[in-house]
Amino acid sequence: MSGMRQHGLIHIHKRERHHQPKLEPFPSKKPLVRLLDTAALANGILSPFASLPQLFYILRTHQTSGVSALTWLLLGLSSIVWSTYGFYHRAWPIVISSIISLFLDCAIILAVMTYR
């Protein structure tokens, strides 16, 4: 357990439950909760890549009509907030997901600015 504390991952092993005064271990012994935890982790890692089709379309066609740079800028700012939050709370899946999102958001903004 002390090795996990050194890397700031203690939150993965125990998490607070609002309806229970005690902490629940991670991974949960309950199959449904374990399935939800796995699905949430996979979603957090894979969801940033949902912007790849937009980026590839812009790079392939050089068309940016209908693509709002402001929207992608706001999404990038949101990614900065989430990565800061995740870093502060040592929630590495949030940090990784947010940094991937930020990188792709910046790539789309750059592509929009290049081809407009």
Q: What is the CATH number of the domain that holds 17?
A: 1.20.1280.290
Residue-wise pLDDT for 74-85, tens only, equals 999 999 999 999
- pLDDT at site 93: 80
- pLDDT at site 37: 81
- pLDDT at site 20: 54
- Entry pTM: 0.71
**Total domains, the chain:** 1
Output b/e per residue, 61-96; b: 16+ Cβ within 10 A. Answer: eeebeebeeeebeebbeebeebbeebeeeebeebbe
Instruction: Give residue 55's domain range.
Output: 2-115
Type of residue numbered 18: H
Residue-wise pLDDT for 25-60, tens only, equals 767 788 998 898 888 888 888 999 999 999 999 999
- pLDDT at site 19: 55
Token pair, residue 68, equals: 């709002």
